[in-house]
Amino acid sequence: MRTRAVREGSVGLLVILSLGLMMGIILWIRGFNLGGRSYTLQVELADALGLNIGSPVKFRGVKVGSITQLQPQANSVLVDVEINSQTVLIPRQTIAETSQSGFVGQAALEFRPASQDKLTEGSLARLSPFTPDCDPQLILCQGDRLQGVSGNNLEELIRATMQIANQLGGSDLKATLNNLSTAAADVSKLTKTTQVTLKDISRAVRSINQLSLETRQQLSSLGTVTQAVVTAATEVEKLGPASIRVSEAADQIISLVQVNRGTLINTLDNMQAASRDLRVAIHNLSPLISRVQASQLIENLDLLAANGAQASASLKTLTDTLNNPATLRDLNQTLESAKVILRNTQKITTDLDEITGNPEVRQNLIRFINALGKLVSSSQELQDQVQVAQQGSLNSMSLVKGTEQQP
């Protein structure tokens, strides 16, 4: 009896263990996790690229879940993803991308954070993918849907390789090879031409070096000349103010003569008129003069007329040739002649004072005195103008001497 009971107990225990093992396998296949609560997400892809139910889901290279369902649609594929633990928090700025790895090309779905922003330890402690502890601004919450992208895969690589092979196997490849051979021949010719050109360039460089040596020699000579020119320019700059003052003084003298030209001419005319009046007066007084020192008076009058004519000629020459250095000497001679005229006039007036009596003689004397007055006034104006001209000449000479004395 005991043996039968043991056998029946063993069979029952075996059945229970088998059922438990079967349930465990089923739960394992279904992804049941005893360590935490899972949550689900949805990813929309343009192409599944080998993803299947049960394909791994990775976050930062670590498997955190699996694919539970694939729903093909007209424009995309909707993939249901289950994250095994609620402690796995995925940032909101995350890219879902398909990938293949290994020799067999195992497909997986990877969550790759798009930003470098990190969640703080305090926020990680209080956040959860389930409401109300989920912050949709920071992490992905239960049931969120995001747009995924299709990554590189073996099928696309094979397809691109086939396209390249088709292009290489066509007629374009032969034409390309022919073009390459022609280009190689042209490059060979260009190389030969380049060698010849390099030889010419080397000869030109040697010529340029020789020219540069000659240029340096010329530049050294030019430097000496330039130094001399700079020294001369410095001396000219020193003489500049003095030459400017000399030219200003000369301009003042010329302008003075030009302004007083009319006055000088009038003075000469007045002297000529006075000389004519004197001749008339002397002619009228000739009987009286013949009785009182006739010979000396006539000589003085002749000398006066000659001196007046000489002074008139000298003044006319002075107005035309004032810029000539000899002009100053002519002016001095004219002044001397005027002084002689005045002395002779004084002698004549002394002789006339001895003449008395006749009213006609008095009238002639009056006319004579008036003529002398005009002559004296004209001589005074002429002397003033000559003094102004002499002052300008002295200023010019002093400026020139000051310029010569400067170092």
HEC sequence for 188-236:
HHHHHHHHHHHHHHHHHHHHHHHHHHHHHHHHHHHHHHHHHHHHHHHHH
- The pLDDT-based confidence of 28 (bands split at 50, 70, 90) is confident
Contacts of 145 (CB under 8 A, 6+ apart): 41, 42, 43, 44
Q: What is the DSSP string of 227-292?
A: HHHHHHHHHHHHHHHHHHHHHHHHHHHHHHHHHTHHHHHHHHHHHHHHHHHHHHHHHHTHHHHHHS
How many angstroms from the chain centroid is the CA of residue 53?
72
pLDDT winner (highest mean) among 128-132, 177-181, 233-237, 242-246? 128-132
Separation of alpha carbons 127 and 3, rounded Å: 60
Separation of alpha carbons 21 and 112, rounded Å: 37
- Asked if residues 79 and 43 have their Cβ atoms less than 8 Å apart, the reply is yes
What local confidence, expressed as pLDDT, does residue 56 receive?
92
Contacts of 364 (CB under 8 A, 6+ apart): 281, 284, 285
Q: What is the DSSP string of 41-57?
A: EEEEES--TT--TT-EE
Return the CA Rg of the chain.
67
What local confidence, expressed as pLDDT, does residue 44 receive?
93
- Residue 267 in this model has a pLDDT that exceeds 70: no
- Asked if residues 242 and 402 have their Cβ atoms less than 8 Å apart, the reply is yes
Higher-pLDDT residue of 282, 68: 68
Separation of alpha carbons 192 and 213, rounded Å: 32
Contacts of 361 (CB under 8 A, 6+ apart): 285, 288, 355
**Residue percentage of the chain with pLDDT more than 90:** 10
- The pLDDT-based confidence of 239 (bands split at 50, 70, 90) is very low
- Residue 355's CB: how many other CB atoms inside 10 A? 16
What local confidence, expressed as pLDDT, does residue 135 receive?
86
- The pLDDT-based confidence of 82 (bands split at 50, 70, 90) is very high
Nearest Cα to Cα of residue 107 among 95, 115, 97, 99: 99
What local confidence, expressed as pLDDT, does residue 19 receive?
92
Beta-ladder partners of 311: none
pLDDT in tens, 330-385: 666 766 776 777 777 677 666 656 555 566 766 766 776 776 666 666 666 666 76
- The pLDDT-based confidence of 57 (bands split at 50, 70, 90) is very high
pLDDT in tens, 302-340: 665 566 566 566 656 656 665 565 666 766 676 677 677
- Asked if residues 110 and 95 have their Cβ atoms less than 8 Å apart, the reply is no
Write out the two tokens for 139: 């992490």
DSSP class of residue 175 equals H
Q: What is the pTM of this model?
A: 0.36
Separation of alpha carbons 397 and 403, rounded Å: 10
- Asked if residues 264 and 315 have their Cβ atoms less than 8 Å apart, the reply is yes
- Asked if residues 349 and 316 have their Cβ atoms less than 8 Å apart, the reply is no
- Asked if residues 332 and 296 have their Cβ atoms less than 8 Å apart, the reply is no
Nearest Cα to Cα of residue 318 among 379, 255, 386: 386
- The pLDDT-based confidence of 78 (bands split at 50, 70, 90) is very high
- Residue 315's CB: how many other CB atoms inside 10 A? 22
- The pLDDT-based confidence of 42 (bands split at 50, 70, 90) is very high
Secondary structure (3-state) at 74:
coil
Among 145-159, 174-188, 308-322, the minimum mean pLDDT is found in 308-322
What local confidence, expressed as pLDDT, does residue 229 receive?
44
- Residue 200 in this model has a pLDDT that exceeds 70: yes
DSSP-based helix, strand, coil % in the chain, nearest 5? 65, 15, 20
What sign for the dihedral angle of Cα 233, 237, 242, 247?
positive
Average pLDDT over residues 22-42: 76
> Residue 85: what are its φ and ψ, rounded to 5°?
-130, 145
- Residue 48 in this model has a pLDDT that exceeds 80: yes
Higher-pLDDT residue of 332, 114: 114
What local confidence, expressed as pLDDT, does residue 254 receive?
60
- Asked if residues 328 and 396 have their Cβ atoms less than 8 Å apart, the reply is no
